Structure 1
Amino acid sequence: MMESIKKLREMTGAGMMDVKKALADAGGDEDKAVALLRERGIVKAAKKADREAKEGLIVVKLSDDAKKGAIVEVNSETDFVARNADFQALVQGFAASLLQSGASDVEAFKATSGQGGETVANELAAAAGKIGENLVLNRTAFIDTDGVVSGYVHSNGKIGVLVELEGGSAELAKDVALHIAAERPRYLTRDEVNSGDIEKEREILTNKAINEGKPQNIVERIVEGQLGKFYEENVLLEQKFVKDNSVTVGKMLGGAKVRRFVRFEVGA
């Protein structure tokens, strides 16, 4: 009995009395006892679900052939937990599982198997019960390409990027990912810019020019010039490349093409 208690405590991180009770309730069956502890962990996690999880960690995983990439964001209540080795191992495991499963969204991913054999949802709930904080699987993304995919995670684990390129190298894709992490583009091309965003920006700039007393006949020209600045700041291909401000990202790419990118930032 003591050997089983020790084993299950090491496996689950649960307290001695919790393990002892679970074993008793399971009739000594270790697998059933683990299941009971996980279920009870889910109950504990549910009670914490109304507490905000604004901290956390982002992890990127890439296949060796640069054809697949996965990015996962898991949030915690405190930065202390986000820096905890067990929490970091959990998120690393989730990213590896997503790279294997290729799940299309968070809910689909939760139903897949994690590295420990349980579903991702159950592993998350068990970790929340063990750690004692509300943990939230906030966002995921998976890319499977016939081009190349690369990624970048800022050293603090708070910003992560995946980039898919056509006609370029993994090294080039990584440079683009680093740029995206630093410069926060909202769109890939001008065509993707929401018309509502442009009209709102145009209205703000027009009112600003009028309030500054600019002549009515040149207000439109001023606004169009300033809209160009908006595109330069928000459209990836028109941004100045972070490693060389003499060229735009579009020019730096040469013959390569960015198909898509994903940028996650904890708390954003």
Structure 2
Amino acid sequence: MPEITASAVKALRERTGLPMMDCKRALEEAGGDPEKAIEILRKSGQKVMEKRAGRETAFGRIGLYSDPDRTALVELFCESAPVAKAEDFVKLVGELARQLALGPGASTAEELLDQPSSEPGKKLRDLYEETINRIREAFRIGRLLRVEGKCGAYLHHDGSKAAVVQVEGDDLQVAREIAMHVVAMRPTALRREDLDPALVEKEREILTEATRKEGKPENLIPKIVEGRLKDFYSQHCLVDQPFVKDPKKTVGKVAEEAGLKLVRYWYWEVGKE
């Protein structure tokens, strides 16, 4: 058996990011051949994945990629909070989002993993398995979103929340600020007509009963209730909410002044559909 030098072990560790002893054992098993050693390490990692399959993956983060023509979000889960903040994990979810946006698209995690990564000669699946092998936790890809066209997008600093606002218009900076607003205020719907009618009717009934108890004239109650529903709409509807950066204006007014038409929005929070 050829001598396994410290420099060979170090070189393999730099390529794989795995512990020195794992790299040394793999090189010994491979007779000093680094390519065979990498394959041995990959198979070892797959065994780890199989053992950890089924473990709860309650933590994670969202990856975001956005440019003027397309935007993508990817949700990636892991087993523990520290891993969700780890550099390798953050890099991986960013890679997934980038390829989802720039590639042909994907409707499932498997479709996405079979696509190329930014590293020459490697698929996303290779990066995914290599990262699992280094971190030794179970991973799971959750939701995927790809939006064609102009959007404002915002990812919270810890990767736990994100929003995408699809627009017609050119001021994508304001569109991004509206996406930040969505993350902060979590509206229920874009406009009043998008709200669940049952939710609105329930609120109307509550307000009607409260107004009646105040002793208001019966014939005026419907008009009073409709006026009071404005507060309800300002809580639930994005266009009616006071804009977080300028509460004197509604989000709808801010968009209008920026020459934007709000088409649709998405709000994600890790683990909450």
| TM-score band w.r.t. shorter chain | 0.7 to 0.9
Q: CA deviation at 1:103?
A: 1.8
Which deviates the most, 115-124 or 198-207?
Answer: 198-207
Q: CA deviation at 1:174?
A: 1.2
Provide the rounded CA distance (Å) in 1 between the counterparts of 2:11 and 2:184: 46
- Flag the 1:50–1:226 CA change in 2: closer, same or farther, 3 A: farther
Provide the rounded CA distance (Å) in 1 between the counterparts of 2:33 and 2:221: 78
Provide the rounded CA distance (Å) in 2 between the counterparts of 1:226 and 1:76: 45
Provide the rounded CA distance (Å) in 2 between the counterparts of 1:5 and 1:105: 40
Q: Contact conserved, 1:57 with 1:75, CA < 8 A, in 2?
A: yes
> What is the aligned partner in structure 2 of residue 53 from structure 1?
57
2:70 pairs, out of 68, 71, 77, with: 68
- Flag the 1:104–1:7 CA change in 2: closer, same or farther, 3 A: same
Aligned AA (1:165):
V
Taking every aligned residue pair, what percent have the same amino acid on both sides?
31
Q: Contact conserved, 2:211 with 2:221, CA < 8 A, in 1?
A: no
Q: Contact conserved, 1:60 with 1:161, CA < 8 A, in 2?
A: no
TM-score normalized with structure 2 length: 0.78
2:183 pairs, out of 158, 181, 184, with: 181
Residue aligned with 2:249, SS: strand
Provide the rounded CA distance (Å) in 1 between the counterparts of 2:157 and 2:200: 34
- Flag the 1:208–1:44 CA change in 2: closer, same or farther, 3 A: farther
Provide the rounded CA distance (Å) in 2 between the counterparts of 1:43 and 1:251: 56
1:37 pairs, out of 41, 61, 66, with: 41
Q: Contact conserved, 1:62 with 1:68, CA < 8 A, in 2?
A: yes
Task: Map Cα deviations across residues 141-193 of structure 1 (whole Å, 9 max, x no partner).
Answer: 22221xx3232222233222222221231112111111111111232233433
Provide the rounded CA distance (Å) in 2 between the counterparts of 1:201 and 1:125: 48
Aligned AA (1:202):
E
**Structure 2 alignment gaps of length 5 or more:** none
Q: Which structure is larger by alpha-carbon Rg, 1 or 2?
A: 2
> What is the aligned partner in structure 2 of residue 128 from structure 1?
132
> What is the aligned partner in structure 1 of residue 264 from structure 2?
260
Provide the rounded CA distance (Å) in 1 between the counterparts of 2:221 and 2:125: 55
Provide the rounded CA distance (Å) in 2 between the counterparts of 1:52 and 1:225: 48
**Structure 1 alignment gaps of length 5 or more:** none
Instruction: Please state if 1:242 is matched with 2:241.
Output: no
Which deviates the most, 52-61 or 224-233?
Answer: 224-233
Provide the rounded CA distance (Å) in 2 between the counterparts of 1:46 and 1:230: 50
- Flag the 1:91–1:170 CA change in 2: closer, same or farther, 3 A: same
Aligned AA (1:35):
E
TM-score normalized with structure 1 length: 0.79
Provide the rounded CA distance (Å) in 1 between the counterparts of 2:20 and 2:260: 58
- Flag the 1:201–1:41 CA change in 2: closer, same or farther, 3 A: farther
> What is the aligned partner in structure 2 of residue 112 from structure 1?
115
Q: Contact conserved, 1:102 with 1:142, CA < 8 A, in 2?
A: no
1:82 pairs, out of 81, 84, 87, with: 84
Provide the rounded CA distance (Å) in 2 between the counterparts of 1:192 and 1:39: 50
